Structure 1
Amino acid sequence: MSSDATDTTIALGGFTFATVRLELRDPSGALVELRAQALAVLRYLATQRNHVVTRDELMRAVWGDVIVTDGSLAQCVAEIRRALGDTAHSIVQTVPKRGYRLMSEGAAATAAPAPAGGFEQVIGFATGADGARIAYAASGEGPILLRAPHWMTHLDWDWRSLVYGPWIEGLSQRFRLVRYDGRNWGLSDRGVAPATLERSTSDMAAVADAAGLGRFALLGVSGGGAIAIRFAALHPERVSHLVLVGCCARGGLRRGAASITAQHLDAYCRLIEDGWAQDNAAFRQIMTSQMYPGASADEMHSFNEMQRVACTPQEAANIRRLVADYDASEHLPDVRCPTLVLHNPHDAMVPFEESRLVASSIAGARLVPFDSPNHVPLCGEAAFAQMNRLIDEFVLGDAPAKIGAHTSNNTAGATALPIVASRRR
């Protein structure tokens, strides 16, 4: 396969396989090891996915002129099936007297175009108060911008996605962007104590300390808004600017007469638990359609896969329940830093009234509506360019030399950068 071939990532029963990087990853995003020959067989089947490939064709593609027996091919197929947990042979199908067929939903987690200068991030781990390891990544140079965790992230995937990727890479060209996965999803520890608002705020402090951040601008997107608000109120000495995009201080259960019902939330979470991990993206599409109704088919597919990879169905439901119960409204009057609130008046996820509450409760906060069909603007929209311009003017235009200083005061128990480097060239 040529070195300039398009790297397509396909979904395989909860696993994913990148056809050029030759990476098979399990539902948690962990790399699954396969022998080189098994990877070559999987790659060729992937290029012909959903079509029958004869044994002779497979053997020529993988072994060329080297004479091997059918047993070598059968061994590779068996190894692939074991790695995928495909005991029913429903993913790698045997077609009697013909060959094999790899069944896949299609392209997954399609990569956003790489910028001319490439993208590089360095991944490290902070240690929460309860010992949970929180994964964070730093990319770019300039004033520091710390992004709160939100639905749904995975440090080794979100920068490749069509939805998050362009924004992450763009911000990294103008800031030292530090972002992290919340506990129980992405590269952070799984199966640990739940991400309550209080615990999530503590985790943010642990990340800031581990990454050696002094005073920084703080970005809260969607469900990360309540965490960012509470942190800014409790740590005014650390936050120079607060930017909130599509956020609220109160979760869906905490909005008085405008609250969703517990029955509504429970029904939604049961759908997540039952269908999140399926190859069929119908259940994940429910959330995608609410957040990004104006997205292209490729962008929706990319976000659907992002959600599947980010965490387990049970944790996705748990996170949904937790965020719906967040309430940082009591902390709004205590936020003293300059604050910019950006919100879509037609947002299907978070009512515009919630942003009015936030902006009117923080002294001097500025509220700017943006025109988009989506919860957060996507690359290519006029609102996307507007959002980035406003953030740049707000943060960089206000004495940027006063923010973003790196410090060497990492706390005990934190693992300082660098740990793992991820690059796109």
Structure 2
Amino acid sequence: MTERFSHLVRGSGPGLLLAHGAGGSVEANFGPILDDLARTHTVVGPDYPGTGATPRSRRPLDLDEMADSLVATAVDAGVDRFTVLGYSLGTAVAVRAATRHPDRVTGLVLTAGFARLSNQMRLAVGVWRELLEAGNPELLAKYMTFVATGRDFLNALSRPEVDAALAGLVVPPGTPDQVDLVAAVDTRADLALVTAPTLVIGTRQDLLAPLDLQRELAAGIPGAEYVEIESGHLMQIEARDDWLAHIRKFLERDPS
């Protein structure tokens, strides 16, 4: 039986389903734009296993099951058709949802995404996973701040602001499982099968999901629109307004 995720529902209007990143949550990854999106759309935001109120999985996460559960959560919430807004790992979940449920997915917006891991990304994700096991939260916070934050934004912070960012790192209990799923992602065969209108938003200063992988993702989806913003992996903090503007422009054509 397809699992349903704990989720939030906000707003009214066409459906918009959120797919967050590994080690994130709906609030952490989409919180800065949730109210804006809910002004024009019915936003459904599920949390993955081990995040928020969704229990941690007792077995390895599977991309097909994640996509099915994401869609089922939206349908159970009364939203039958929707654009999927995916971030990081959520872009792979969104692509798989679009190919497995083309009758429900009317559009895709994919930010800081990837269809596979390059050697560079595999090493970055591997260190992330090892640090989760090492039991050194301070070192984990330093690594994640370095790899996820764009150079311009990070270098503009004061020392106290950097210290506050390090202290503020939250690691949901399901993060190791979600990072393992990142390491297994390969949706290259799915890309040509995507029929929904798609916008891919690249993050130019991204060290975690390098820009070449984001461009490759866009190139693989027929007719995908591609834009870039000046940001690292944390565009919801670094370039919130630019990110939202591109999403809004796409959603104005939302056929849901």
| TM-score bin (small chain) | 0.7 to 0.9
Q: Kindly indicate whether the alpha-carbon contact (under 8 Å) linking 2:25 and 2:48 is maintained by their aligned counterparts in 1.
A: no
Per-residue Cα deviation, 1:14-42 (whole angstroms, up to 9, x for no partner): xxxxxxxxxxxxxxxxxxxxxxxxxxxxx
Match of 1:357 in 2: 216
C-alpha distance in structure 1 between counterparts of 2:20 and 2:77, whole Å: 15
Q: Aligned-pair distance for 1:327?
A: 0.9
Q: Kindly indicate whether the alpha-carbon contact (under 8 Å) linking 1:285 and 1:304 is maintained by their aligned counterparts in 2.
A: no
Please state whether the residue corresponding to 1:178 is helix, strand or coil.
strand
**Does residue 275 of structure 1 match 2:135?**
yes
Of the structure 1 ranges 186-195 and 298-307, higher mean CA displacement relative to structure 2 is found in 298-307
Match of 1:394 in 2: 250
Match of 1:307 in 2: 170
Percent identity at matched positions?
A: 27
Matches within 5 A, 1:46-195: 129=2, 132-154=3-25, 158=27, 164-195=30-61
C-alpha distance in structure 2 between counterparts of 1:164 and 1:285, whole Å: 22
Q: Aligned-pair distance for 1:301?
A: 4.0
- Structure in which a larger fraction of residues adopt strand: 1
Q: Aligned-pair distance for 1:376?
A: 3.5
Instruction: Flag structure 1 segments of 5+ consecutive residues without an equivalent.
Output: 1-127, 404-425
C-alpha distance in structure 2 between counterparts of 1:150 and 1:361, whole Å: 21
The 1:133/1:339 distance shift into structure 2, 3 A limit, reads: closer
C-alpha distance in structure 2 between counterparts of 1:344 and 1:198, whole Å: 26
Give the TM-score of the pair, scaled to structure 1. 0.53
Q: Aligned-pair distance for 1:200?
A: 0.9
Please state whether the residue corresponding to 1:307 is helix, strand or coil.
coil
The 1:375/1:177 distance shift into structure 2, 3 A limit, reads: same
Q: Kindly indicate whether the alpha-carbon contact (under 8 Å) linking 1:272 and 1:284 is maintained by their aligned counterparts in 2.
A: no
Q: Aligned-pair distance for 1:304?
A: 5.6
The 1:154/1:335 distance shift into structure 2, 3 A limit, reads: closer
Please state whether the residue corresponding to 1:334 is helix, strand or coil.
coil
Write the letter of the residue equivalent to 1:271: L
C-alpha distance in structure 2 between counterparts of 1:144 and 1:150, whole Å: 20
Taking only aligned residues, the RMSD between alpha carbons, in angstroms, comes to 2.6
* 1:284 aligned residue (124, 135, 141): 141
C-alpha distance in structure 1 between counterparts of 2:84 and 2:4, whole Å: 21
Matches within 5 A, 1:236-275: 236-250=102-116, 252=117, 255=118, 260=122, 266-275=126-135
C-alpha distance in structure 1 between counterparts of 2:22 and 2:122, whole Å: 18
C-alpha distance in structure 1 between counterparts of 2:161 and 2:94, whole Å: 31
Match of 2:74 in 1: 208
Q: Kindly indicate whether the alpha-carbon contact (under 8 Å) linking 1:270 and 1:317 is maintained by their aligned counterparts in 2.
A: no
Per-residue Cα deviation, 1:62-86 (whole angstroms, up to 9, x for no partner): xxxxxxxxxxxxxxxxxxxxxxxxx
The 1:133/1:388 distance shift into structure 2, 3 A limit, reads: closer
Q: Aligned-pair distance for 1:302?
A: 5.9
Q: Kindly indicate whether the alpha-carbon contact (under 8 Å) linking 1:216 and 1:240 is maintained by their aligned counterparts in 2.
A: yes
* 1:338 aligned residue (172, 187, 197): 197
Give the TM-score of the pair, scaled to structure 2. 0.85
Q: Kindly indicate whether the alpha-carbon contact (under 8 Å) linking 1:342 and 1:369 is maintained by their aligned counterparts in 2.
A: yes
C-alpha distance in structure 2 between counterparts of 1:164 and 1:218, whole Å: 13
Q: Kindly indicate whether the alpha-carbon contact (under 8 Å) linking 1:242 and 1:340 is maintained by their aligned counterparts in 2.
A: yes
Q: Kindly indicate whether the alpha-carbon contact (under 8 Å) linking 2:145 and 2:165 is maintained by their aligned counterparts in 1.
A: no
C-alpha distance in structure 2 between counterparts of 1:176 and 1:303, whole Å: 34
Instruction: Flag structure 2 segments of 5+ consecutive residues without an equivalent.
Output: none
- Return the structure number with greater relative CO, CA threshold 8 A, min gap 6: 2
- Structure in which a larger fraction of residues adopt helix: 2
C-alpha distance in structure 2 between counterparts of 1:217 and 1:317, whole Å: 28
